Structure 1
């Protein structure tokens, strides 16, 4: 999970580098380029639909960019506001988060549905989450939150990415049961399979983990996550950076010695074996998701440094904790092997930070994904706005998003929902005005199924309650999943709204007072767009 400041290993810097130094850093970073890997058989699909065409005599114009936020349930960081609330309040709070996403012109939400070996759905593999029910007894709350969450997100044309922590089995005491088996829910799987459990670290902060080196435990964890994929119409499966735990120091060890001795290839050291275990989870989940539901995306949000250049010439121009060595996450390999559809490195550092300069680490990731088909989104650290040093500047994330555009980044996910709502220093308002002022379509992915519908037929436009509603009908055998509404504005027709196809009228929420001309397109669930409808107009 994206972490609060105390969890970051890097030392925070408080001084921005000068503009000249920043420019030099960008110049150096821009020269770095990874060789493109050879194509992998079976992973190339038909190219995504091209530009949809013109609205009358002018071209249509729309941004293709994923925009999302993490909605965190562990410790009730974002939602629900506290455990044990009645269904009606939990649902009302969730709908307000979706309303926020829509107001910010987001098109995706990443919801924490398996924070610690638990579940926000009726699961045969995990107890109900205490962050929802307020109890650790495994009893049902009497309704299905996942069914509700997915349906309401889709009603607002938001992608729903189900966010899982694969190996965490409990929360540390006193917030959770810690490493005390007696305090787990009665139906917790680690009670039945204690040989799957490893406690780390020592003391009051201990929690239980499923052993990543135990194939039975790994398969069980995969099955638990795939249960949700099979039952619900999710658009994505999402992990953050918790595989093996972050090192705590103080002599603490992740005690997997017995598992290593029993299962490891004798040619492997402990570190390589652990990386192999994580690689296996990532590869198997990729394969199994594609087999179960090929249209579901798979992505991971890792710590922002693979390795430092001082350690490995292929690493980034940074000097911080290395996920390859510290938590056994070979993020570079996952991209190069194309096990992922997207990757969201957590770049929670300021431009100019000496240990990990955003402006230097970003180009490394941009170069890494080149030629792989893996889409690069960035995890943005909204929670840091207002901290001392460069984070006191309200334009820090605004400037980072500008760098993202320069390096071809295809989207951002913001941590977390609460910080977006709070809008510290007006930072969210600033970057929304500059970067998210209009809606955006999600990027298409070549691997996903391609079924763009025929151009819809726009039949009429009418003014109502200060809005313009465009009536339309689908044509042909492939029904659109969603629609995109374009309004002519001078030399182009710009995207002004999107929506789910179940609501037949396409609505422009902020039309001009004068006459206006509109066109419409339909999209499949992978974001591939149809041709454009004929224009319809509305009078002043």
Structure 2
């Protein structure tokens, strides 16, 4: 089988023959007959995986290459990242749209980001987020809009902020720490702003999820965060640490509720630092000796899972197997236990950027995925960052494709959806470019995308689909399979999916023999 990125999507009926004179041009067309009524929709989602990558925009880490680039160059660079994601076999992107109290879209609350047009507040000339989402969906990649709720600036100079930036108009909301500017999470006004910013995007754009990373209170760096006055005013007798955790909890709990109220299909997920607490601090913690999100950035990540305040959790497990302070094996086991029975989806944050460091060779990420397979609670992986993954840093990406991503994957189904009605009238045509497969769209309005499966030889007309034979997914009613070989016979099956990845029964398969030329 092949990675999904090797296939070309199309929206035509795909039932005609190739007008060219390629090697396969004279091969026959196979058309599915009456639709299947006896085959049930796939009921086992254990083969499902979310496969994603983070596209960081802060400091132009992954995109754009330079704010000075032309609009067309910026668009082309983003498309190349998405095409690279498909080539690897991914099905989701996590794109940073609010890196630092700014916006990669026309926000009524915050200025345009300096990292899109070179200066905060400068209009880049196009709706960046709309472009982001539409290009991702055109490749059937989930789009997770990544926000940083509290970071204001990587520099302490408030004069560099745009005059209309809320952080400049409300200097009492801002604290300087470690040479940077941060909103004070203990202020109700700050929580209100973060909530309004997120809901504005949820309501205006067709995103699939809201995503936070690991930045809540800043990581400790030589001194305490300067929020003594805020604690005195709002602490209500709590210790500073407990009060800080309560502030973050309130934002997480409130956003989860409000995002689902605004659009029930939009999910809310967080990618925290990989260690909640060490066992030496708490018997429920992990057997690690590392920084603790609970104590150091006041993020009670385990509580969010247990309370169901997140739809998915993606801990950043950026250590190698056998690491003396934080062993990857230990942490995967710990996180698997935390999500068990909760309904919260667990995916693992992987460090593509570390490939080549001591103890992190080209095979390390592949070993991580092999280990993950022992824990059915692990439903996929997300890689930081896009440039390292798509660029095949140290050969690690090629190893992932060879060992784990030969077949495409559908993300795990999320709660609240329902399988659409099946597609129909599947046709397979051998052409000079491979095999063109087309189908009649599902009559259900819930149908968002389609999954195409391929089996060698003449398969049964009506048969259950096997996730190991998934060729690709697409938004549209046809694909071209360029990997079909001359002289071979293939049978193609098509299922319909809603946007939460609930899958219909397959339509009647279509069998075709590719000519020898």
Q: TM-score, normalized by length of structure 1?
A: 0.84
Shift of 1:149: 0.7
CA distance in 1, matches of 2:445, 2:116: 39
3-state secondary structure, aligned to 1:127? coil
Retained in 2: the 8 A contact 1:104–1:436? yes
Q: Are residue 217 (structure 1) and residue 190 (structure 2) matched?
A: yes
RMSD, aligned CA: 2.0
Retained in 2: the 8 A contact 1:54–1:60? no
- Classify 1:59/1:214 alpha carbon distance in 2 versus 1 (closer, same or farther; 3 Å): closer
Retained in 2: the 8 A contact 1:55–1:519? no
Q: Deviations over 1:189-245 (max 9, x none)?
A: 1121111111112xxxx1111110001111111101211111100001100000000
Shift of 1:124: 0.9
Question: Who is 2:210 aligned against?
Answer: 237
Q: How many residues align?
A: 468
Q: Deviations over 1:17-39 (max 9, x none)?
A: xxxxxxxxxxxxxxxxxxxxxxx
Question: Who is 2:57 aligned against?
Answer: 73
3-state secondary structure, aligned to 1:440? coil
Aligned counterpart for 1:413 among listed residues 382, 385, 402: 382
CA distance in 1, matches of 2:443, 2:201: 32
CA distance in 1, matches of 2:478, 2:229: 62
Q: Are residue 200 (structure 1) and residue 177 (structure 2) matched?
A: yes
- Classify 1:509/1:284 alpha carbon distance in 2 versus 1 (closer, same or farther; 3 Å): farther
Aligned counterpart for 2:451 among listed residues 466, 484, 509: 484
Aligned counterpart for 2:95 among listed residues 111, 114, 128: 111
Q: Deviations over 1:67-91 (max 9, x none)?
A: 0000011111111011232211110
CA distance in 1, matches of 2:442, 2:348: 37
Q: Deviations over 1:445-485 (max 9, x none)?
A: 22xx3232111113421123332122211243435210001
Shift of 1:59: 12
Tell me: higher relative CO, structure 1 or 2? Use CA pairs within 8 A at least 6 residues apart.
Answer: 2
Question: Who is 2:230 aligned against?
Answer: 259
Q: Are residue 460 (structure 1) and residue 434 (structure 2) matched?
A: no
3-state secondary structure, aligned to 1:220? helix
Shift of 1:424: 2.8
Residues 232-311 of structure 1: matches in 2 within 5 Å? Answer: 232-249=205-222, 252-266=223-237, 268-311=238-281
Q: Are residue 402 (structure 1) and residue 354 (structure 2) matched?
A: no
- Classify 1:264/1:59 alpha carbon distance in 2 versus 1 (closer, same or farther; 3 Å): closer
Question: Who is 1:186 aligned against?
Answer: 163
Q: Deviations over 1:360-399 (max 9, x none)?
A: 11100000000000010000011111012x11x3211110
Aligned counterpart for 1:387 among listed residues 345, 354, 357: 357
Q: TM-score, normalized by length of structure 2?
A: 0.87
Q: Deviations over 1:32-68 (max 9, x none)?
A: xxxxxxxxxxxxxxxxxxxx98599x99999310000
CA distance in 2, matches of 1:131, 1:405: 38
Residues 81-160 of structure 1: matches in 2 within 5 Å? Answer: 81-136=65-120, 138-160=121-143
3-state secondary structure, aligned to 1:169? strand
CA distance in 2, matches of 1:76, 1:353: 31
Question: Who is 2:400 aligned against?
Answer: 431
Retained in 2: the 8 A contact 1:55–1:488? no
Retained in 2: the 8 A contact 1:154–1:160? yes
CA distance in 1, matches of 2:419, 2:89: 23
Unmatched runs of 5 consecutive residues or more in structure 1:
1-51, 172-177
Unmatched runs of 5 consecutive residues or more in structure 2:
1-36, 460-464
CA distance in 2, matches of 1:450, 1:311: 40
3-state secondary structure, aligned to 1:64? coil
